[in-house]
A and B are shown apart, each in its own frame.
Chain A
């Protein structure tokens, strides 16, 4: 099991009132599985994804990554886990504006003190970005940017890929391409993936769709 959430809740307190952004959620993601999370705005999708990605610690419950309980690790250890085992694709691509495409990927190498120059070239080639290698993010189209972001999420060969609305800034055709790319990568190399999306038209690409409302899982 790549990722397990066990009775996870995130509680925000506002004075005496408490607000459960994520409410007693349990979820298992198998190797090779690609899950979509849908739900209305404010239902807790991003919060849940952040907990799964060790960006946010849950108020209650446990999180297991590759069988290891990561709920109470130190900030430093958590940072290393994110760096080595998790790949993120954010809504607005979130590339670093002053890095050329190739350096967006090299950055991950620099952070983890590794050399995978060959892999990064392969990845960019695979994603049809080879001719864009020396461009800055502001010189790329939205779809290209999102593809670079996916390549960046894959460079460290993570077991778990998390994507928060990766298609939000793309038209539906481009959006579908990006999601298919993600799905292929996850299937072919036996990773696990969770994607938050508002786009119903790409759900067929995923193995499973989870719908959440008011922090609770509605159906699986």
Chain B
């Protein structure tokens, strides 16, 4: 570290410049990751948080819940299947809700299930549902000015009262409204509580007219979900590659410039391993510092975003990205190390051996 630190201080400007690029790339990686996570939650937190072990769809639905139809008359059959302990149904409707009979309206996703259903989420504020005219809604509606006791009207007929707020319940970029009813004959899916029974055993039990899927598979079936995530993830991958190349190019050029110095150091008795440690030390110092600043910057920027912006930072995800950036930087420094290994101490003496 003797050499590494002294050089960083001496050549401040050049290392600050590369550091700046690192900070920006790291922040961009964090921000896009936050956006990916935020959008994912905005699009499907209701599915991610679905309180069921498995979901049963019509087998023609290709995992897309909105294309799936099951009928209430088959619910008994499900209840009797081996391995299934409890069955409820789920119908999803995308609707526009008029608030308190005024001009104000909101796009929402209505999740209809039975009273006492396993799907009904924990209420964070207000009360649980007691009648078919009561609903609990995602708390993002609170930001839109909706309060407990407000009425929502769907179309001409149905009028319901908001009795509770819940968290992390959004679907297709709209807030979810949980409503109870045993009326609908056609539903989108059955949801089951299966205890220990495995997916395949349940699948065998209920036959090939149905398909048993996990929450994760259901996520991929949401039409926009995969594309949205894929494009963001591709950006993130590119940023990692850019980080690796920028660092690789920078340290490669710097190492080339320092050939003579490395030659002299080797002639003076510095072992190659020592010089390698020195270069890696510099990469580590710069990367850790820049990633740290990037983390700070990202939290700062995140705080400045409007509350309804789909942006979510998780410490664990941040840590994973940080480790990956660090790893990528070290990989980028590798070709410089090859240079350092190859430099011959004879280069310290002018003319001879070159």
Contacts and interface: CB of A to CB of B under 8 A. Distances in A.
Interface of A: 21, 46-47, 49-50, 53, 55-56, 76, 79-80, 82-84, 88, 90-92, 94, 96-99, 103, 106-108, 110-112, 136, 152, 156, 164-165
B161 interface: no
Given A55-B353, A83-B269, A88-B268, A94 B10 contact: no
Given A96-B264, A98-B7, A79 B348 contact: no
A50 B269 contact: no
**Quick one: which of A76, A80, A98, A165 has the most chain B CB within 10 A?**
A98
Interface residues of B, number: 26
B6 A103 contact: yes
Given A94-B348, A98-B10, A111-B269, 18 more contacts: A46-B350, A53-B267, A53-B349, A55-B352, A55-B353, A79-B270, A79-B345, A82-B267, A82-B268, A88-B267, A90-B348, A90-B349, A90-B350, A98-B7, A106-B2, A108-B269, A110-B2, A165-B350
A56 B264 contact: no
B239 interface: no
B10 A97 contact: yes
Nearest to A85: B269
Interface in B236-262: 260-261
Contacts of B353: 47, 50, 55-56
Contacts of A108: 268-269
Given A50-B349, A50-B353, A79 B7 contact: no
The 3 closest A-B pairs by CB, nearest first: A83-B269, A98-B10, A46-B352
A207 B86 CA distance: 103
A99 B267 contact: no
B6 A111 contact: no
B127 to A, nearest CB: 69
Interface string B1-23: 01100110111000000000000
A3 B123 CA distance: 89
Interface of B: 2-3, 6-7, 9-11, 260-261, 264-271, 274, 345-346, 348-353
A80 B272 CA distance: 12
A107 B2 contact: yes
A75 B270 CA distance: 11
Given A94-B264, A107-B268, A111-B268, A49 B10 contact: no
B348 A82 contact: no
29 contacts: A46-B352, A47-B352, A49-B349, A49-B352, A50-B346, A55-B267, A55-B346, A55-B349, A55-B353, A56-B352, A82-B269, A82-B345, A83-B268, A83-B269, A88-B267, A88-B348, A90-B350, A91-B350, A97-B10, A98-B7, A98-B10, A98-B11, A107-B2, A108-B268, A108-B269, A111-B274, A136-B10, A156-B269, A165-B350
Contacts of B268: 82-83, 88, 107-108, 111, 152
A111 B11 CA distance: 22
Contacts of B269: 79-80, 82-84, 108, 111-112, 156
Contacts of B264: 90, 94, 96
Nearest to B271: A79
Contacts of B270: 79, 83, 111
A56 B353 CA distance: 8
A99 B6 contact: yes
A80 B349 CA distance: 18
A94 B265 CA distance: 9
Nearest to B261: A96
Contacts of A47: 352-353
A164 B260 CA distance: 16
Contact of B350 (A53, A92, A96, A106): A92
Contacts of B351: 46
A135 to B, nearest CB: 12
B284 to A, nearest CB: 18
Contacts of B11: 98
